């Protein structure tokens, strides 16, 4: 007999209604549209497995629909394996035993663009061979390394120095990627109930890490055109005295915005006044493509040699800030190497706290990254050309196929944050799945399910996959009902 675990978190009718947002936009029967939206929330992770759903009576009252509609939606979700129900215990979110994602009609299979990532950099296999040849010198000790090998810590420090920020190896802690760095900092710096400033939209896994540490999130707006809402950011710092402010000031994910130097100074000064630790996520910082920083939604373009010289210095050059870096975006996601740059007292706290979660970073991967960092300038030049071609292809393709959309051409990073002109991101994402294309819906990047009018589209994939994605997206857009901006319509400016 199948049982339901009822000890998991519960989502209220009000909270679920916020996540559902524009579910009525479809011309499908009400119960089917409601079930489809809940199904997408489950697949995207916005409704975690084990979450108890509201009762049929409560949800129908909140949504203003009949109880029959909600009951039929829940029945549909049970049929596809996304919900389990037991009389007297309610309905609980689950994932089907086998994935229910539709398969693509072509033999090429599903195309997953939910990850903003690049394939491995050229030369990584050779670097791995050199690392393997040198590992004999490291075999005499236990191999458990919670700080980082001196050769890699020094290579990372040298990279900061090359970018204009004096750094020594003692300020570096090597981690298992940037996400591990975020979670470790959250665990050390945040106490239950503390406030944490985050960006909206922003990086969803940072939200998860901060919430997991007990933080209450205080979102501040970032837009393609205007960047950070400085007034709101400064007011939030002064009004709530947050423990931590997690920011991505360079080629922000997902908007592509870059924080101006003078704004960095003001934010850091305000944070210092309140005792707030600013954590600057620099995972995108060196992925400069070309074009003016802070470009508007229709700007962008190529830039000649030496273009990275105009980039701002790392955040910590303008005031007290903790920096997070990673090899995952610039080198390869398969190298689970990240790092934290901080002052020595915080470094000591991080190292002491780390063993509660893990026992160190693999030595071989550290040696590979240390090898590659020696040629980082050449690697970044190659990456810039690769990303420039991908960006131009995606932006041109989207603007041609969807003239009613606003498609930014960012000066760096891995994605474009597209304004759709209607609150249909989740519906479009679900329709794209039926065409064999996986994309992250806009609300994935909001704290409370906002950003249904936006879609994040990566431009870091090969040309053939990009073309397949554009074709699938066009088919999906034609397949959603009654919500498209007419072709050729002029949209309002991105806000």
Q: 191-200: per-residue pLDDT in tens?
A: 999 999 999 9
At 44, the pLDDT band (50, 70, 90 cuts) reads low
pLDDT value for 427: 87
Instruction: Please provide residue 419's backbone torsions phi and psi, each rounded to the nearest 5 degrees.
Output: -95, 120
Task: Compute the average pLDDT of residues 289-312.
Answer: 48
With residue 90 as reference, give the H or E element that holds it: strand 90-93
CB 87 within 8 A of CB 80: no
CB 290 within 8 A of CB 301: yes
Instruction: For tokens 């857009």, name the residue.
Output: 477
Task: Compute the average pLDDT of residues 9-37.
Answer: 81
The whole-angstrom distance between residue 488's C-alpha and the CA centroid of its chain comes to 31
At 26, the pLDDT band (50, 70, 90 cuts) reads low
**Sequence-separated (6 or more) residues with CB below 8 Å from residue 112:** 438
- pLDDT winner (highest mean) among 9-18, 39-48, 409-418: 409-418
pLDDT value for 25: 66
Picking from 46-50, 168-172, 235-239, 335-339, which range would have the lowest pLDDT averaged per residue? Answer: 46-50
Task: Compute the average pLDDT of residues 436-455.
Answer: 89
CB 50 within 8 A of CB 95: no
- For the entire predicted model, the pTM comes to 0.80
- The two tokens of residue 4 are 């339901």
**Sequence-separated (6 or more) residues with CB below 8 Å from residue 481:** 25, 26, 27, 28
For 111-120+379-479, which CATH class?
A: alpha beta
Instruction: For tokens 């060196």, name the residue.
Output: 286
Which is it for strands 244-247 and 195-200: parallel, antiparallel or unpaired?
Answer: parallel
pLDDT value for 86: 80
CB 448 within 8 A of CB 18: yes
pLDDT value for 447: 82
Instruction: For tokens 């030049």, name the residue.
Output: 381
Q: 168-193: per-residue pLDDT in tens?
A: 999 999 999 999 999 999 999 999 99
pLDDT value for 6: 41
What sign for the dihedral angle of Cα 196, 446, 324, 313?
negative
Q: Which residue has the higher pLDDT, 15 or 119?
A: 119
Instruction: For tokens 């020094």, name the residue.
Output: 154
Q: 64-114: per-residue pLDDT in tens?
A: 999 999 889 899 999 888 888 887 778 888 877 644 444 433 434 789 999
Kindly tell me if the per-residue pLDDT of 489 is higher than 70. no
Q: 380-429: per-residue pLDDT in tens?
A: 999 999 999 999 999 999 999 999 999 999 999 999 999 998 888 988 99
92: β partners: 52, 84
At 37, the pLDDT band (50, 70, 90 cuts) reads confident
With residue 237 as reference, give the H or E element that holds it: helix 230-240
Strand, coil or helix: what is 334?
coil
pLDDT value for 107: 37
Kindly tell me if the per-residue pLDDT of 166 is higher than 70. yes
Instruction: For tokens 């100074």, name the residue.
Output: 265
CATH number for the domain running over 13-93: 1.10.10.10
At 306, the pLDDT band (50, 70, 90 cuts) reads very low
Helix axes 56-63, 67-79, angle to 10 degrees: 120
In terms of Cβ atoms closer than 10 Å to its own Cβ (0-12, 13-18, 19+), residue 463 is exposed
What is the rounded distance in angstroms from the CA atom of residue 18 to the CA atom of residue 12? 10
pLDDT value for 89: 74
pLDDT value for 481: 57
Picking from 1-10, 48-57, 135-144, which range would have the lowest pLDDT averaged per residue? Answer: 1-10
Q: Which residue has the higher pLDDT, 450 or 294?
A: 450
Kindly tell me if the per-residue pLDDT of 217 is higher than 70. yes
What is the rounded distance in angstroms from the CA atom of residue 365 to the CA atom of residue 156? 14
- The two tokens of residue 453 are 């009018």
pLDDT value for 16: 87
Q: What is the mean pLDDT of the chain?
A: 87
CB 337 within 8 A of CB 369: yes
In terms of Cβ atoms closer than 10 Å to its own Cβ (0-12, 13-18, 19+), residue 39 is buried
Longest pairwise C-alpha distance within the chain: 70
Which is it for strands 172-175 and 338-341: parallel, antiparallel or unpaired?
Answer: antiparallel
Residue 481 CA: distances (Å) to CA of 70, 203, 432, 444: 21, 30, 13, 22
Q: Which value, to the nearest 10 degrees, does the dihedral of the CA atoms of residues 339, 344, 347, 348 take?
A: 150
Nearest to 197 by CA among 147, 171, 154, 232: 232
Q: 344-394: per-residue pLDDT in tens?
A: 999 999 999 999 889 999 999 999 999 999 999 999 999 999 999 999 999
What is the rounded distance in angstroms from the CA atom of residue 183 to the CA atom of residue 175? 10
At 449, the pLDDT band (50, 70, 90 cuts) reads low
Helix axes 150-162, 363-373, angle to 10 degrees: 30
Domains of the chain, residue spans:
13-93, 111-120+379-479, 124-375
What's the CATH number of domain 124-375, 3.40.50.2300, 3.40.640.10, 3.60.15.10, 3.40.50.140?
Answer: 3.40.640.10
Q: Which residue has the higher pLDDT, 494 or 243?
A: 243
What is the rounded distance in angstroms from the CA atom of residue 333 to the CA atom of residue 322? 22
């Amino acid at each position: 007999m199948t049982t339901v675990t009822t000890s998991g978190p519960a989502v209220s009718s009000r909270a679920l209604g916020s996540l559902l947002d524009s579910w009525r936009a479809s011309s499908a029967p009400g119960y089917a549209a409601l079930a489809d939206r809940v199904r997408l929330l489950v697949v995207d992770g916005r409704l975690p497995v084990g979450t108890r759903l509201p009762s049929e009576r409560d949800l129908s009252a909140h949504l203003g629909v009949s109880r029959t509609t909600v009951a039929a939606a829940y029945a549909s979700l049970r049929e596809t394996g996304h919900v389990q129900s037991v009389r007297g215990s309610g309905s609980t979110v689950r994932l089907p035993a086998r994935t229910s994602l539709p398969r693509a009609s072509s033999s090429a299979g599903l195309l997953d663009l939910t990850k903003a990532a690049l394939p491995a950099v050229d030369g990584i296999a050779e670097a791995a061979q050199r690392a393997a040849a040198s590992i004999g010198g490291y075999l005499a000790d236990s191999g458990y390394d919670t700080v980082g090998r001196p050769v890699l810590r020094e290579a990372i420090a040298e990279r900061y120095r090359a970018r204009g920020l004096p750094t020594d190896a003692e300020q570096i802690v090597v981690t298992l990627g940037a996400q591990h760095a975020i979670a470790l900092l959250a665990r050390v710096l945040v106490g239950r109930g503390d406030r944490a400033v985050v960006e909206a939209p922003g990086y969803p896994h940072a939200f998860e890490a901060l919430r997991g540490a007990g933080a209450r999130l205080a979102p501040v707006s970032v837009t393609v055109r205007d960047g950070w809402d400085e007034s709101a950011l400064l007011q939030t710092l002064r009004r709530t005295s947050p423990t931590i402010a997690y920011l991505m000031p360079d080629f922000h994910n997902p908007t592509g915005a870059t924080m101006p130097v003078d704004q960095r100074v003001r934010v850091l000064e305000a944070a210092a006044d309140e005792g707030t630790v600013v954590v600057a996520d620099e995972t995108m910082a060196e992925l400069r493509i070309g074009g003016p920083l802070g470009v508007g939604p229709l700007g962008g373009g190529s830039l000649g040699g030496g273009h990275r010289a105009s980039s701002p210095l790392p955040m910590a050059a303008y005031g007290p800030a903790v920096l997070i870096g990673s090899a995952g975006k610039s080198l390869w996601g398969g190298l689970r190497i990240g790092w934290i740059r901080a002052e020595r007292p915080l470094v000591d706290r991080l190292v002491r706290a780390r063993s509660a979660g893990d026992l160190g970073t693999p030595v071989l991967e550290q040696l590979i990254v240390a090898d590659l960092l020696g040629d980082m300038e050449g690697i970044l030049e190659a990456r810039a050309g690769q990303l420039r071609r991908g960006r131009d292809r995606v932006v041109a393709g989207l603007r041609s196929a969807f003239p009613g959309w606003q498609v930014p051409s960012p000066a760096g990073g891995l994605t474009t944050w597209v304004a759709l002109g209607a609150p249909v991101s989740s519906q479009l994402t679900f329709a794209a799945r039926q065409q064999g294309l996986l994309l992250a819906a806009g609300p994935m990047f909001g704290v409370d399910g906002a950003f249904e009018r936006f879609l994040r589209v990566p431009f870091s994939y090969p040309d053939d996959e990009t073309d397949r994605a554009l074709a699938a997206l066009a088919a999906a857009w034609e397949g959603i009902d009654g919500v498209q901006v007419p072709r050729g319509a002029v949209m309002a400016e991105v806000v």
